[in-house]
Amino acid sequence: MAESDVTSEYRALVAKLNGWRREYYTEDAPSVEDHVYDVAYQRLLAIEAAHPNLVAVDSPTQLVGDVVSPDFSKVPHPVPMLSMGDVFSLEALQAWADRLAASDPAPDGYNVELKIDGLSLSLVYEKGVLVQGSTRGDGSVGEDVTANVRTIPDIPQTLPRPLDLEVRGECYMPKAAFAKLNAAREAAGEPPFANPRNAAAGSLRQLDVAVTRARSLATFMYTVVAPENYGLTTQHEALGFMKDLGFATNPTSVVAKDMSTMADYIQSQTADRDALPYGIDGIVVKVNDLALQAALGNTVKVPRWEIAYKFPPEEAATTVLDIEWTIGRTGVVTPTAVMTPVQLAGTTVARASLHNVDLLRQKDIRIGDTVMLHKAGDIIPEVSTVVMAKRPASSVPAPVPTTCPSCKEPLVHLDDEVALRCINPRCPAQVQEQLTHFASRNAMNIDGLGPKIIQQLLARKLVDDVAGLYRLTAADLADLDKFKEKSVNNLLKAIEASRQNSVERLLFGLGIRHVGGKAAASLAAAFGDLDHLATAAHDDIAAVDGIGPIIADSVVAYFKNPGAKVLIEELREAGVNLAYKGAAPAATDGFWAGKTVVITGSFADFSRPALTARLKQLGAKVTGSVSKRTDLLVAGEAAGSKLTKAQDLGVTVMDAAELAQTLNQA
């Protein structure tokens, strides 16, 4: 190949790989599978080995991680957090071990560990107290994620010994949590995460710690920085040391004296990979002797004393027989590929979600196509690519529905979503979820009307939308399982009381996309009643303080739907109040009046929104962050970083028992 052609290929590879790196590390949204990146990266290494004069400072071979997000404070790493070299076969692993065997002194053993599919994390302790958590970033500078790290259950906040210590490891998302999160994102019309690593990264790098807390993250720690300070001589000892201090360490690691033991470990872990509750993408082999690790040192990017054996991609070819469109409980319409059954990662797979219209078009998946199938995070079947060479000559793009497969109402594709959505409130596929939300405490607050009762009402065809609740009679309810006279009377009283709610509760209960409790209250106060809101212009809605164009889009689209118009008329005829009754005036005296209050943790007797509303009614100003201007922190169970900050600032802290006593007095 001519030098000019090599140079052109090299620069194109650098640009392509850096784009993929940005998607993977910074945006947490990779567009290609790991093995696609690995193949291109190995080609880049081959070119640089043959043409060292071409090696550029922006080459991925010279970089670790990616840029630090400006949303987080920077944390320098005095000891760099490096990447690892990769091998893709036992022969290549043997060649790496042979090179180390030729060193002086030669390693006399290796610690062999699982390569967890997560993101690198550093934890710093002072006198046994956690003071900092940070990401790897670009290897030299990471992101300060201390507040988020404090929400991860298996990270100790204090150590049993008052040590100054830095440990490093991997933050990951368990497979079950990954599947649950992606299901919720798809139901909300949001793009799913590509794999557990990106889900973990996106969860740890949240500006709202409540989001991180809800994501069920976990860790495995595997490195002690400056191990000589603690008398540690081997990697195996370091793992035991961290375990004794309360860190989560992976229990599967072994010490191997030779290649045969390493190969046996790799074979057994590869076979057991699918059964693990967390994702792994390879095996890590480390020189066990910590002093020898230090002597071997690093290249500009990777340690010489460790290597990652990467699993080959597990894919299967199959044929797309059909593309089905199904509607979820929140109205999102999802395409699903129906395929010739194949064996993949230990199970038979015949269906795979195509997630949304944008992805379907991007990958151009058609009926009759031969596709490559893999499992995202080892659990979720996913189409990776279409084998274009096998596409039938008669192939045409898959048709996209314009009406709901359940109710036949027109579908909408809102500007801020990747999903098609049915916004008909009377759609049969969505009614159960709508009824549950409508009756919830923060909506119409119909006490006693839970999911199990709603299931019975639907099964007996006693209701078919939320307006049907107001037509229920004692005779209807008496027919329900385990429903005695007292239960019947209590539920009818709760339904009757809900007719008189101020309209913001009804507006929230209708389940309009993006309209939460706060937005509903703002809209109700601004327009006075549901009729004025339903006929308001988009710009007038968007102009309401705290609303904006996205919520306005949803509101306008909802009230244009014929099903919504019918539902509102049914609610009016049922005597449900459609007017704003005004916020209850806040108290101007008493213990809470005028105090700036922050709430943290959970409470057995209150939901957070209900407690917030109660304190505001008593005259308090409830804010979300602790500062010197905070008068009082109300701390429930599992209080996190806000409690620590309040204690540091000398802010008065009230526990749940004191809260209950004070509210009773009020």
Separation between Cα atoms, residue 50 and residue 557, nearest integer Å? 60
How many helices (H) and strands (E) are present in the chain, helices listed first?
24, 21
CA torsion sign for 531, 532, 536, 541 is negative
Q: Exposed (0-12), middle (13-18) or buried (19+): which is 267, by Cβ within 10 Å?
A: exposed
Residue 562, classed as helix, strand or coil, is: helix
* φ/ψ bin of 410: left (φ > 0), alpha (ψ from -120 to 50), beta (otherwise): beta
Q: Are 491 and 470 in contact (CB under 8 A)?
A: no
The owner of tokens 């069920």 is: 216
Provide long-range contacts, Cβ within 8 A and 24+ apart, for 479-486: 480/453, 480/456, 481/456, 483/453
Instruction: Please identify every residue annotated as catalytic.
Output: 115
Separation between Cα atoms, residue 269 and residue 276, nearest integer Å? 9
For residue 105, say if its preceding peptide bond is cis, omega within 30 degrees of 0: yes
The CA–CA distances, whole Å, from 665 to 587, 615, 631, 652, 658 equal 14, 13, 19, 19, 11
For Cα atoms 71, 76, 79, give the angle at the middle one, nearest 5 degrees. Answer: 145
Provide the pairing of β-strand 85-87 with 280-287.
Answer: unpaired
Tokens linked to 615: 């304190």
Tokens linked to 578: 């459609």
The DSSP string of 190-256 is PPPPSSHHHHHHHHHT-SSHHHHHTT--EEEEEEESSGGGGT--BHHHHHHHHHHTT----TT-EEE
The owner of tokens 């192939």 is: 395
Separation between Cα atoms, residue 83 and residue 85, nearest integer Å? 7
**In which element (H, E) is residue 106 found?**
none
Return the percent helix, strand and coil in the chain, to nearest 5: 40, 20, 40
Q: Exposed (0-12), middle (13-18) or buried (19+): which is 312, by Cβ within 10 Å?
A: exposed
Q: Are 81 and 122 in contact (CB under 8 A)?
A: yes
Q: Are 469 and 501 in contact (CB under 8 A)?
A: no
Tokens linked to 235: 């990697």
